[in-house]
């Protein structure tokens, strides 16, 4: 989930650099994208990173959606075919793994473009996003807190 948040954050950088940014007066706090203080050259290189694998990313996402639909269809079929469900589940897992691999490769390329202080800011933004996402989950779905006294 954190990688997805990061990719969405970086995608927002691309959108904002393309269309310009008009900050909403009702938006609380500073803009996370602006906090990274990307140079125009960095913005351009990040845009290029996304552009380089755009077609592959679209194919992987389409494969994931299709695998998900195929699994749903197998689950809804009468009579239920356990072997078909298992096959569809494996296809979905492979498609999800390809998505994750693409996200990680993209993140690594983007990280190489950032200066150390930008990486520190990015880490902080990711922690904030994780905390925000955790607060949005119902209590029974949140990760258990660790006991501070345990090693």
Q: Which pLDDT tens digit goes with each residue over 79-124?
A: 999 999 999 999 999 999 999 999 999 999 999 999 999 999 999 9
Residue 151 lies in a domain: no
- Give the count of beta carbons closer than 10 Å to the beta carbon of residue 58: 10
Residue 44 lies in a domain: yes
The mean pLDDT value for 32-58 works out to: 93
Shared domain for 64 and 88, answered yes or no, is: yes
Q: Would you say 46 and 15 are in contact if contact means Cβ atoms under 8 Å apart?
A: no
Shared domain for 59 and 46, answered yes or no, is: no
Shared domain for 97 and 120, answered yes or no, is: no
pTM here is 0.66
Q: Would you say 114 and 45 are in contact if contact means Cβ atoms under 8 Å apart?
A: no
pLDDT in tens, 17-36: 444 444 444 445 678 778 89
In the chain, % of residues over pLDDT 90: 59
Confidence (pLDDT) at 148: 46
More confident residue, 9 or 147: 9
Shared domain for 5 and 38, answered yes or no, is: yes
Residue with tokens 């979905």: 92
Task: Compute the distance between CA of residue 85 and CA of residue 93 in angstroms, rounded to an integer.
Answer: 12
Q: How many domains does the chain have?
A: 2
Shared domain for 1 and 48, answered yes or no, is: yes
Domain carrying residue 85: 55-108
Shared domain for 42 and 9, answered yes or no, is: yes
Shared domain for 48 and 122, answered yes or no, is: yes
Shared domain for 59 and 101, answered yes or no, is: yes
Mean pLDDT over each residue of the chain, to the nearest integer? 82
Shared domain for 76 and 118, answered yes or no, is: no
């Amino acid at each position: 989930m954190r990688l997805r948040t990061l990719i969405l954050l970086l995608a927002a950088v691309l959108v904002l650099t393309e269309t310009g940014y008009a900050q909403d007066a009702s938006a609380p706090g500073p803009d996370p994208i602006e906090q990274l203080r990307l140079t125009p050259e960095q913005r351009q290189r990040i845009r290029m990173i996304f552009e380089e694998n755009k077609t592959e990313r679209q194919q992987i996402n389409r494969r994931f959606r299709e695998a998900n639909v195929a699994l749903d269809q197998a689950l809804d079929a009468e009579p239920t075919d356990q072997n078909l469900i298992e096959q569809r589940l494996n296809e979905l897992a492979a498609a999800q793994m390809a998505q994750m691999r693409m996200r990680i490769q993209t993140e690594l390329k983007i990280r190489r473009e950032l200066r150390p202080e930008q990486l520190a800011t990015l880490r902080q933004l990711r922690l904030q996003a994780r905390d925000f996402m955790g607060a949005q989950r119902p209590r029974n779905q949140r990760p258990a807190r660790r006991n501070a006294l345990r090693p």
